[in-house]
Structure 1
Amino acid sequence: MAAWDRWNALMAVIDIEWERINKNNPKSSSIEHEEVKNNININIKKVGNTNSLKNNKIVIKINKDNNNNNTIPITNKKIVKKKNKKIVIKKDPEVAREPIMPEQMRQEIERMAGEMNKPIWLVNKRITNSDVSPHLRRLFIPSECESKLEGFLSAEEMKRTRVHGKDQNSEEEEKMVVKIVDGNGGLSDLDFKYWTSVDMYVFTSQWTRFVQRFHVKEGWIVQIWCFRDRDTHLCFGINFHPSLNRL
């Protein structure tokens, strides 16, 4: 979390505590807001694996006169205060729904895989600036489809994809190259890895050239399928399309 975001989060938590004090003790309304801020002891600690984007979170503990002890978990997006209320997170409709596979892609996958090896839809992802950056040259596969993907991979494939920290960009590492069928039915090769430094699967190597071929922009949607060819090799279908929503 950036320093400015962290400061805004802290101020928001203090405001929540101020509202609670006023609600529980009407006489406290005469207390200056700034004085309450000065009297609140705030401690921050990180929990979980600091190298993991999935597990990284921040816990803020608020102590007022050492009588109350509330713990409010926050994420890098918003503060969440549990008050016996169900928290509803709105899903991006373009990302949530299973897409229709482009016809040319479907035909090429059927040619490669046969009728028995049906493709499995993994995920839709809205393209970010880092996904199309020529300097980063990679696409992270969203972590929510990890269990689906690992149910499809063999034990040997999972072992081969593991790349540890400093070795993730090494040219000498063992690479797992997979065939990619694009939305036009064309074929490409990409490196497929699992970066243990961030606990996520990733496409690398020729990724930048791949997205430039389709003039992919930030805000587009990438649709990803996985399948096996007739020789049981791991393959993927990747299709891009412009977003229906203006960002």
Structure 2
Amino acid sequence: MAEATETDFLKQQKGRRRIKNFLAAINYHDDDLQTTIKIMRMKLLEIQQRDSSAVINKPQTVRKIIFKFSGSKTVLHKHDDIEKDSRNMSHSETKRQKINNGGMQFVMDFIKSVGGSEAQFVIEKRLTISDVNPNQGRLLIPVLQLKNKKGFLTADEETMMGNKEDVSVWVFDPERRKSMLNLAKWKMSKECYVLKTNWNQVVKANGFKEEIVIRVLSFRVDDQLCFVLDRVA
């Protein structure tokens, strides 16, 4: 028993020295240093005891102890800094993801409301200067950037485009206004689908500018190919 008591005493002494060295390292001065050391050590022991009694296999996070001093009074705060920083760093991304997921659900609900089916995510695109240039009058949808590599056309529509014929499609803008546009397939430096004819009116009505991000989905009402546009950012 005496040996155990002596061991505990040595541990206490070692702990006090560490705290004293820590305070010296940060140039902290206190008229009542021993009281400060006592308070800090008690708080550290409380944290250690709580951590030891935590549920086994509970995901661990690294904790950082921050000491704030006011006169001889010591206030100890415990923060799960890594977890907190991660939340802060990803806050904007999480918010954007929630908005995007919510927006996608609204789009799917709209498609159902007009009797649509076979909905497919076509592309999410940051508009380029050529996409909103009235002299160009078209939206380029690069084939290589399609979300669904199988495409959204029927065999007959593919044949029409192979013969350089346009396919008439309904396009619903972000305000769910409906316009009739033509869909073509162009072979440029890269193969692209092109929404044209009345595209300028869609751009003007929605105030589309360069760098605006839109999402495009395709669907069908009976056999009619339709597209719905949703503004993301």
> If the length of structure 1 is used for normalisation, what is the TM-score?
0.48
1:1-247 map, 5 Å: 100-101=102-103, 105-114=107-116, 117-146=117-146, 148=148, 150-162=150-162, 174-197=165-188, 198-229=190-221, 231-241=222-232, 243=233
**Alpha-carbon distance in 2 for matches of 1:188, 1:207:** 9
For structure 2, the residue ranges without an aligned partner over 5 or more in a row are 1-92
CA drift at 1:182: 1.9
Greater helix content = 2
Conserved in 2, the CA contact under 8 Å of 1:123 and 1:224?
Answer: yes
**Alpha-carbon distance in 1 for matches of 2:163, 2:102:** 33
Q: CA RMSD in A?
A: 2.9
CA drift at 1:140: 0.7
Q: Which has the larger radius of gyration?
A: 2
CA drift at 1:196: 2.6
**Alpha-carbon distance in 1 for matches of 2:102, 2:181:** 23
Letter in 2 for 1:128: T
CA drift at 1:185: 2.2
SS in 2 for 1:120: strand
- The change in CA–CA distance for 1:176 and 1:118 in structure 2 (over 3 A counts) is closer
Conserved in 1, the CA contact under 8 Å of 2:172 and 2:179?
Answer: yes
- The change in CA–CA distance for 1:225 and 1:236 in structure 2 (over 3 A counts) is same
- The change in CA–CA distance for 1:163 and 1:126 in structure 2 (over 3 A counts) is farther
CA drift at 1:107: 4.1
- The change in CA–CA distance for 1:142 and 1:225 in structure 2 (over 3 A counts) is same
**Alpha-carbon distance in 1 for matches of 2:150, 2:172:** 20
- The change in CA–CA distance for 1:150 and 1:204 in structure 2 (over 3 A counts) is farther
Aligned length: 137
Conserved in 1, the CA contact under 8 Å of 2:174 and 2:206?
Answer: no
CA drift at 1:212: 0.7
CA drift at 1:154: 1.2
- The change in CA–CA distance for 1:202 and 1:163 in structure 2 (over 3 A counts) is farther
**Alpha-carbon distance in 2 for matches of 1:137, 1:129:** 11
**Alpha-carbon distance in 1 for matches of 2:205, 2:105:** 19
For structure 1, the residue ranges without an aligned partner over 5 or more in a row are 1-92, 165-173
